[in-house]
Structure 1
Amino acid sequence: MSNSDPKHEVVSRSQWLAARRQLWLHEKAFTHQRDELSAARQALPWVKLEHDYRFHGPEGEVDLAALFGGRSQLLLYHFMFVEGWSEGCPGCSFLADHFDGANLHLAHHDVALVAVSQAPYPEFQAFRRRMGWQFPWYSSHGSSFNRDFAVSVATDGSEQYNYEPYQGDESELPGLSAFYRAADGQLYHTYSTYARGLDILVGAYNFLDLAPLGRNEGGTMDWVRHHDRYEQQPGKPHCCHD
């Protein structure tokens, strides 16, 4: 992109209002479609969990039920941080920057929000402190959890990611899974989403979608950095206008 202002039609206020009203009609239709989609998501059948998954956290080894924190609903983000890494995926970190604010409210609505990574628990503690995050973050190291929920995958097309054969070059990928804990303690898997299905979790993208230039990126999240890696003075995105 160039440094010049984008070429855009400039009209009178009355012409703008007419165009804005047409867009408003599309926005209202989209809102209703989104409500219908959410209802269909919540109407999905559930899968009874039979496997006793084990995780590692600040209190030592725990089971999946412990991740609910006494609540009946669990949103679990599959955070890309594998054994041997010194920092987490920038895209996952961008998304995780939204968790603590959300958790202030979710905790009062019977919903727990946690992250789970494949790396051993001690390996992401320095990065967590660096980022200043407070949300619960557990390790699934040594279990089949990441593979069972399709975020640890083979790169030869023999396994699926985002509900289709995967032929990318990364064997660890992001996702979000939802679970329900019944009154009798039985756990159920209710939903999982991956790739662009995670966009809804990124509040910053919703703000950008309202900005004059939108997301203004050459590729998904190609401008995103760990929040302590941006230039000191806020400016133009790294990917744009150069």
Structure 2
Amino acid sequence: MNDVRTLVKRAIKSVQSDIRWRYGSAEKHLAKRKARRQLPASATLADYEQIITTIVHNPQARVFVYWHEQRAYPTVVSVIDGEHWLVMLDESGFLESAFVIDRPERYLMRPQFQESGVLEGSTMSHEEIDRVLTAYETDVRFPEASGMELLDMLLKRSEIAQADREQLLTVEQRRRLAAADRVLALQARHFYASIQRIADLEVWRQHEGAPPGEWWWYLDVLAHTPVVAADDTPVPA
């Protein structure tokens, strides 16, 4: 069961970071949504993906696992403008489909659907974000600290990332975050050495379902093969 929770968490984090369709499928899904009048005829793929983004970031969205041939498909259901939208993903976070359910309770009561709760959004205030950000700024100054404290630092960074995806950070908070990130990235080897003494970073990373975009969970990779992105933020190769 823990493996399934991790899979679901990883897939949802992936689609929250980046909407990915199977090759050639996006336009087909868009055309069907228009044909079903679930989207206006003038809707673009960007309009469709905005709906999907809203769904997978709604903290009150219901989360299910759909089972088919012993494979788990993470599924998120949310109400938009009175319509129940369903977003289904594969294990890697690629979109399987996103459409309106006409009879949601009847549809979701099928035994193939297993409900697992609701999404956990950030819903952090600017004051809460500032408190977590200040703690993160302090943590990155101490790469020799206990590995368990540093793992807590990485969890804080993920909280900030969720708030950033929800566009809750101020311009000044983003500036501070970028500065702290540079400190962490430049000392990735030292931070990883401290964590390695007490925990397996890869296991923690898998449990968190952290995609490559959450580079702070890949300090073991950065410690050996740092790559500098266009914004000067190192990410794993």
Range class of TM-score, shorter chain: under 0.3
Query: Which is bigger in relative contact order (C-alpha 8 A, separation at least 6)?
Result: 1
Which protein has the bigger helix share? 2
Alignment TM-score, normalising by the size of structure 1? 0.22
Task: Please tell me whether Structure 1 or Structure 2 has the larger radius of gyration of its CA atoms.
Answer: 1
